[in-house]
Amino acid sequence: MLTKLSSEKIKKIFPTYFTPDYVGKMNEYKIKIILNIYNSKKGGRTFIAKKIKVDQSVVGRILKIAIKKRIIKKVSPSDFETKEKQRIYSDITERKIYKQVRPITLSDRKLNLSIPKNAKFKIQLPTGKHRPSTIVKYFVTIEEAEGAKKEN
């Protein structure tokens, strides 16, 4: 259905991007690109936004409208081609985290709001209470983290 999507139909489906007072970067061509990339499962809204240099919230709105109007079908994040490129470990057996000093990433900070703001490194250590139980500790310097590793 995307190949038959004319400029007039795009303007009718997404009217807010074609009003006289609209000052954004969106046009029929970019909307068609967004829909085609998403529909071909090349990437999600972040990938598309970076590719065509627009805000990902705009891409998300366009995709939401297109899915609601049944122009495209919702794609599961695991179906995108980009999912492999985004993995830190290509093979899960490479993932060794126990007693390994690792840098704190943005994802860590999003998932755990209690990480100290000045912390830059983390290490997973045993709790000492129950054998398989562990705790993640955070450190400002790599030397502090290495010291904690040696203590356990």
pLDDT one-digit tens code per residue, 102-116: 999 888 898 899 999
Task: Report the alpha-carbon distance of residue 67 to residue 133 in Å, rounded.
Answer: 44
pLDDT of residue 90: 63
**Greater pLDDT, 89 or 119:** 119
pTM over 0.85: no
Torsion of the alpha carbons at 19, 24, 25 and 29, rounded to the nearest 10: -20
| Per-residue pLDDT tens over the stretch 25-36 | 889 999 999 999
Question: What mean pLDDT comes out for the span 82-87?
Answer: 62
What integer best gives the mean pLDDT of the chain?
86
- Dist. CA 11–CA 27, nearest whole Å: 9
Q: Which pLDDT score, from 0 to 100, does residue 79 have?
A: 85
Q: Which long-range contacts (CB under 8 A, 24 or more apart) does 136-140 make?
A: 138/104, 140/116
What distance in Å separates the CA atoms of residue 104 and residue 107, rounded to the nearest whole number?
A: 8
Flag whether pLDDT at 84 surpasses 60. Answer: no
Q: How confident is the model at residue 2 (pLDDT cuts 50, 70, 90)?
A: low
**What pLDDT, on the 0 to 100 scale, is given for residue 73?**
93
pLDDT given at position 128: 74
